[in-house]
Structure 1
Amino acid sequence: MHHTGYPIGALLSGVVASLVLSAFGEGSWRYCFLLALIVAIPLMIFWAKYSTADRINTLYLHIDSQGMTRPATQESSHVAKGEGMKTFLRTLRNRNISLTAGNTLLTQIVYMGINVVLPPYLYHVSGLSLAASAGLSIIFTLTGTLGQIIWPWLSDSFGRKRTLIVCGLWMSIGIALFYFATNMPRLIAIQLFFGLVANAVWPIYYAMASDSAEERATSTANGIITTAMFIGGGISPLLMGWLIQFGGGGKIRRVISTPSLPWRDARCWGCYCSL
Structure 2
Amino acid sequence: MDERNYRSIIDNSKFKKFHLIILFLCTFIVISEGYDLVIYGSIVPYLLDEWSLTTVEAGAIASYGLIGMMLGSILLGILADKFGRKNIIIVSVIIFSFFTGLSGFADNATFFSWCRFFAGIGIGGALPNAVGLMTDYAPKALKTTLIAIVLTGMQIGGVVAPLISMNLSPTYGWQFVLWIGALPLLAVPILFIFLPESTNFLVLKGDTEQLTKTIRKIDSRYIIQNEFTASNVGEAIMNSPLIIFKENQRGNTILFWVAYFMCLLMIYGLNTWLPNLMMKSGYGLNSSLSFLIVLNATAIIGTFLFGRIADSWDSKKLLVVLFLLGSVSLALLGFESNIVTVYILVGLSGACTMGTQNIANAFVSQYYSAAIRSTGLGLCNGIGRIGGMSGPILGGFLLSWGITGPMNFLIFAFAGFIAAVSYFFVKVPKALVEMS
TM-score tier after normalising by the smaller chain length: 0.7 to 0.9
Q: 2:157 aligns with which of 9, 33, 37?
A: 9
Shift of residue 204, structure 1, vs aligned partner: 3.1
CA distance in structure 2 between the aligned counterparts of 1:206 and 1:92, rounded to whole angstroms: 20
Q: Equivalent residues in 2 for 1:96-111 (5 A)?
A: 96-111=252-267
> CA deviation digits over 1:149-194, x for unaligned, max 9?
2223323333222111101111111101211354533332222222
Q: 1:44 aligns with which of 182, 185, 188?
A: 188
**Contact (CA 8 Å) 2:291, 2:346: kept in 1 or not?**
no
Q: Which amino acid aligns with 1:177?
A: L
Distance 1:158 1:88, change over 3 A: closer
Task: Tell whether 2:413 aligns with 1:271.
Answer: yes
**Contact (CA 8 Å) 1:91, 1:217: kept in 2 or not?**
no
Task: Tell whether 2:205 aligns with 1:84.
Answer: no
Distance 1:180 1:55, change over 3 A: farther
Task: Tell whether 2:373 aligns with 1:229.
Answer: no
Shift of residue 273, structure 1, vs aligned partner: 0.7
Q: Unaligned regions of 5+ residues in structure 1, if any?
A: 66-71, 250-260
Root mean square deviation, CA, Å = 3.2
Q: 1:128 aligns with which of 278, 284, 291?
A: 284
Q: Equivalent residues in 2 for 1:1-275 (5 A)?
A: 1-24=149-172, 28-37=173-182, 39-48=183-192, 50-51=194-195, 60-63=215-218, 75-80=233-238, 84-90=240-246, 94-129=250-285, 131-214=286-369, 216-246=371-401, 248=402, 261=404, 263-275=405-417
> CA deviation digits over 1:206-239, x for unaligned, max 9?
3443444356322222122111221211111111
Distance 1:31 1:160, change over 3 A: same
Shift of residue 148, structure 1, vs aligned partner: 0.4
Q: Which amino acid aligns with 2:179?
A: L
Q: Which amino acid aligns with 1:165?
A: V
Q: What is the aligned partner in structure 1 of residue 138 from structure 2?
A: none
CA distance in structure 1 between the aligned counterparts of 2:266 and 2:158, rounded to whole angstroms: 16
* Secondary structure at 1:157 match in 2: coil
Shift of residue 33, structure 1, vs aligned partner: 1.5
Structure with larger RCO (C-alpha < 8 A, sep 6+)? 1
CA distance in structure 1 between the aligned counterparts of 2:381 and 2:219, rounded to whole angstroms: 28
- Identical pairs, percent: 18
CA distance in structure 2 between the aligned counterparts of 1:151 and 1:241, rounded to whole angstroms: 32
> CA deviation digits over 1:57-79, x for unaligned, max 9?
776444458xxxxxx99635412
Distance 1:121 1:244, change over 3 A: same
Q: Which amino acid aligns with 2:340?
A: P
CA distance in structure 2 between the aligned counterparts of 1:40 and 1:9, rounded to whole angstroms: 12
> When the two structures are aligned, how many residues end up with a matched partner?
249
**Contact (CA 8 Å) 2:245, 2:253: kept in 1 or not?**
no
Q: What is the aligned partner in structure 1 of residue 425 from structure 2?
A: none
Shift of residue 41, structure 1, vs aligned partner: 2.6
**Contact (CA 8 Å) 1:91, 1:220: kept in 2 or not?**
no
Q: Which amino acid aligns with 2:414?
A: Y
Q: Which amino acid aligns with 1:185?
A: V
CA distance in structure 1 between the aligned counterparts of 2:331 and 2:388, rounded to whole angstroms: 20
CA distance in structure 2 between the aligned counterparts of 1:267 and 1:92, rounded to whole angstroms: 37
**Contact (CA 8 Å) 1:181, 1:190: kept in 2 or not?**
no
**Contact (CA 8 Å) 2:278, 2:288: kept in 1 or not?**
yes
* Secondary structure at 1:138 match in 2: helix
Q: Tell which deviates more after alignment, 111-120 or 161-170.
A: 111-120
**Contact (CA 8 Å) 1:141, 1:195: kept in 2 or not?**
yes
CA distance in structure 2 between the aligned counterparts of 1:184 and 1:34, rounded to whole angstroms: 34
TM (normalized to structure 2)? 0.50
Q: Tell which deviates more after alignment, 171-180 or 47-56.
A: 47-56
Q: Which amino acid aligns with 1:111?
A: I
> CA deviation digits over 1:78-123, x for unaligned, max 9?
124xx72542442896211220121111011111122122111234
Distance 1:91 1:227, change over 3 A: farther
CA distance in structure 1 between the aligned counterparts of 2:297 and 2:411, rounded to whole angstroms: 24
TM (normalized to structure 1)? 0.76
**Contact (CA 8 Å) 1:244, 1:265: kept in 2 or not?**
no
